[in-house]
Amino acid sequence: MSAWVTVEQCKRIVSNYMSHRGQGGFLTGTVLSTGPLAVQTDTQLTIPEECLYVTDHCIGLVMHFEHTHEELMPKDLRNDVIIRQPLKPGEGVLLVCRPSTLADKGDKYIVIDRIRPYQVQREVDARIGGKDAE
């Protein structure tokens, strides 16, 4: 018996492995709910929270200001400042599928970031301090 594997045998082994293991790849979807998190892909597959991992870009971020001389701080900076909003139902997301393994017995999906239709420019309004700020 030979220890060598032919190219055809190798192709068949890889093909069988991939068909039983699942395929990875990029998907797009829409956030259905955030508590618990659920995403529906464009192929109408609903992915529950236990099958999702989320990158930091999709987690809300609030900055808390603390100052020893609060009376010297501008009024706008005495409150929490939202740096990044959390995901909201209806938002589009980009996912990567991580095929199942024998250990976890199920595909996992990584929510990479929000997606939206192309815009030439995106604008954000901000006002800190000044006589018009209350």
pLDDT tens digit string along 26-54?
889 999 999 999 999 988 889 999 999 99
Is residue 108 exposed (0-12), middle (13-18) or buried (19+ Cβ within 10 Å)? middle
Determine the pLDDT at residue 18: 57
Q: Among candidates 31, 48, 67, which has minimal Cα distance to 108? A: 48
The DSSP bridge partners found for residue 25 are: 97
Instruction: Compute the distance between CA of residue 37 and CA of residue 30 in angstroms, rounded to an integer.
Output: 11
Angle at 82 between CA 80 and CA 85, to 5 degrees: 145
Q: What pTM value is reported for the model?
A: 0.65
pLDDT (average), residues 93-119: 83
The DSSP bridge partners found for residue 92 are: 30, 115
Q: Match 């991992």 to its residue by tokens.
A: 53
Q: Where are the domains of the chain?
A: 24-59+86-115
Query: Is the distance from CB of 47 to CB of 29 less than 8 angstroms?
Result: yes
What is the dotted CATH code of the domain comprising 24-59+86-115? 2.40.50.140
Query: Is the distance from CB of 126 to CB of 63 less than 8 angstroms?
Result: no
Instruction: Compute the distance between CA of residue 53 and CA of residue 134 in angstroms, rounded to an integer.
Output: 40
In 3-state terms, the chain is what percent helix, strand and coil (to 5)?
A: 20, 30, 50
Of 96 and 70, the structure prediction assigns the larger pLDDT to 96
- Does residue 97 carry a pLDDT above 60? yes
Band of the pLDDT at 78, cuts 50, 70, 90? low
Token pair in block for residue 79: 């409150």
Instruction: Compute the distance between CA of residue 8 and CA of residue 14 in angstroms, rounded to an integer.
Output: 10
